[in-house]
Amino acid sequence: MMASRSWPGALLLLPLAWALQAGATSGRWPAPTPPGEPPRLAPAVVDEVPPAPTLAREEALRASQAALGRVLGEHALLDRAGQPVRLADYHRGKPLLVSFVYTGCFQVCPSGTRALQAALQGLENVFDPGQYNVVSIGFNQPADSPQAMRAFAAQNRIVASNWDFLSPPPAAVEALLRDFGFSRLATPSGFDHVVGVTVVDAQGRIRAQVYGDRLGPAQVGEPLRQLLRGAPIDPESGWRDLLERVRIVCTVYDPETGRYRYAWGLILEIAGGLSFAVAMALFFAAEARKRRRGRLA
pLDDT in tens, 265-275: 544 555 566 56
The residue that leads in pLDDT, 285 or 211, is 211
Kindly tell me if the per-residue pLDDT of 25 is higher than 60. Answer: no
Q: CB–CB of 252/260 below 8 Å?
A: yes
Domains of the chain: 57-214 (3.40.30.10)
DSSP 81: T
Residue by residue, DSSP assigns 104-133 as T-SSHHHHHHHHHHHHHHTTTTTS-GGG-E
Evaluate if pTM is beyond 0.75.
Answer: no
Residue 57: band (very low, low, confident or very high) from pLDDT cuts 50, 70, 90: confident
Q: Kindly state the percentage of the chain with pLDDT values over 90.
A: 45
Residue 109: band (very low, low, confident or very high) from pLDDT cuts 50, 70, 90: very high
Find, among 193, 140, 133, the residue nearest to 168 by Cα: 140
Give the separation between CA 101 and CA 115, rounded to whole angstroms. 13
Kindly tell me if the per-residue pLDDT of 54 is higher than 70. Answer: yes
Kindly tell me if the per-residue pLDDT of 226 is higher than 90. Answer: no
Find, among 126, 78, 95, 108, the residue nearest to 196 by Cα: 108
pLDDT score recorded for residue 125: 75
Q: CB–CB of 127/248 below 8 Å?
A: yes
The residue that leads in pLDDT, 195 or 45, is 195
Q: What is the mean pLDDT of residues 155-182?
A: 96
Kindly tell me if the per-residue pLDDT of 17 is higher than 80. Answer: no
Question: Average per-residue pLDDT in the chain?
Answer: 79
Residue 124: band (very low, low, confident or very high) from pLDDT cuts 50, 70, 90: confident
pLDDT score recorded for residue 18: 54
Kindly tell me if the per-residue pLDDT of 157 is higher than 60. Answer: yes
pLDDT score recorded for residue 165: 98
- Which residues, at least 6 apart from 131, have a Cβ–Cβ distance to it below 8 Å? 94, 95, 228
β-bridge partners, 185: 192
Kindly tell me if the per-residue pLDDT of 4 is higher than 70. Answer: no
Q: Which spans in 43-107 are helix H?
A: 57-66, 88-91
Find, among 129, 139, 123, 135, the residue nearest to 215 by Cα: 123
The residue that leads in pLDDT, 291 or 120, is 120
Helices H / strands E in the chain, number of each: 9, 11
DSSP 72: P
Q: CB–CB of 209/64 below 8 Å?
A: yes
